[in-house]
Amino acid sequence: MEFTDEEAQEALEYWTPERRGQAQSAVFPTTPESGPHDVSLDGELVTPRSLAPSAAPPTSPQTDALGRSSLEGLQTSADLSTAQRWNYNWGYPPSSTIGKLYAVTTSGDPQICTASVINTPHGSALWTAAHCIYEPFAGAYTNVVFEPQVRDGLGQRGTWSALEIFVPPEWAQTGEWRYDIGLVLTAPGGENDQSLEAELGSQGYDFGHGWDPDSYGASPESNAVNFGYPLEGYNRDDFDGGDLWYCTGLPDANPSTPGRLSEGRMSCDMGRGASGGPWISRLHPVEGTGTIIGSNSHYNTDPEGERIDGSVYSGSHDILATALISNAR
């Protein structure tokens, strides 16, 4: 789906402070009742790719009076399934590269998700969940706008509007959660009318390896960090969508979706609003950048729709993710 320059400008004008305050979190999809089933993909496989993160000016992270990095004290080696508010290195990566993604659904409802700046040749791309930007069988969402570095409900770096959005054809045709990944290319924006990467920096990515921790560089000493702007969570009443939160842990494959297109799984109690938030592996303790290996997609519920555990799942970041990212040129 492509937007004209005029539509991109209209999207910026649409999201007044009042509308942002009224927007609801995207419905965090739940595991389909029908259970997993095999899916075959025809066509040429895309070679897995990875790309390093880029730095944002200023390239040095903020330090305190003693010259210590403000990421000092972040323990990614510990499994943290109870989300904590992000209070490290504010204004620099990773917080500058993650923000709230606003969109208007096909039924006209304003909604909020999370997205992250991803390093691509295009220079101004976002990684998120497909359900944040496209409704299966219905079409693309409109007025898609990104607001990074939101704290206490207030963005601090301006906004960027979408020029193009991409989701896997399989998502558009089936709505299965293994395909719940999305890419957004934006126009220049923010306070200085620059690309996302020039203004904010970016996270790298490492797709195409599945969920074996050895393959994407994670280990018990260097877990992945799951970020989001949750409005609700599992047995939580302190989320309001106004702040960035995080969990840490080792992702693994969802045993219900075996095979090349397996979903990822992490223990984290964030819920709606955190959809699309990145799972970042190898987060550098000084630079605040790493590689995206997954993104928040859905959780498990009982027949009444109540969440039953603290796990969250990611769509497959294997061959479909590498194919999707090839659009960002």
Q: Is residue 273 part of a domain?
A: yes
User: Regarding beta strands 24-25 and 110-118, do their DSSP bridges make them parallel or antiparallel, or are they unpaired?
Assistant: parallel
Q: Pick from 320, 175, 176, 183: which is nearest to 257 by CA?
A: 176
pLDDT of residue 53: 63
Q: Specify the DSSP class assigned to residue 178.
A: G
Q: Evaluate whether residue 39 is within a structural domain.
A: no
> What residue numbers bound the domain in which 304 lies?
5-29+48-57+70-325
Does any domain span residue 133? Answer: yes
Q: Are 121 and 306 in contact (CB under 8 A)?
A: no
Question: Backbone phi, then psi, for 146, in 5-degree steps?
Answer: -110, 130
Q: How many structural domains are present in the chain?
A: 1
Structure token digits, residue 34: 């029908």
Measured CA to CA, the distance from residue 210 to residue 262 in angstroms comes to 7
CA 178 to CA 43: how far, in whole Å? 18
Residue pair 49/322 in contact (Cβ under 8 Å)? The answer is: yes
In a domain, 36, yes or no: no
CATH code for position 233: 2.40.10.10
Q: In this structure, is residue 35 part of a structural domain?
A: no
| pLDDT tens digits in sequence order for the chain, 329 residues long | 788 888 888 888 888 887 887 777 665 555 444 333 222 222 233 333 456 665 544 333 444 444 444 566 677 767 899 999 999 878 889 999 999 999 999 999 999 999 999 999 899 999 999 999 999 999 999 999 999 999 999 998 999 999 999 999 999 999 999 999 999 999 999 999 999 999 999 999 988 776 876 666 666 656 899 999 999 999 999 999 999 999 999 998 888 876 767 899 999 999 999 999 999 998 888 888 999 999 999 999 888 888 999 999 999 998 889 889 887 77
Structural domain includes residue 64: no
Question: What is the token pair recorded at 42?
Answer: 């025809």
Separation CA 114–CA 149 (nearest Å) = 11
Domain membership of residue 91 (yes or no) is: yes
* Residue 40, both tokens: 């075959």
Tell me whether residue 62 is in a domain: no
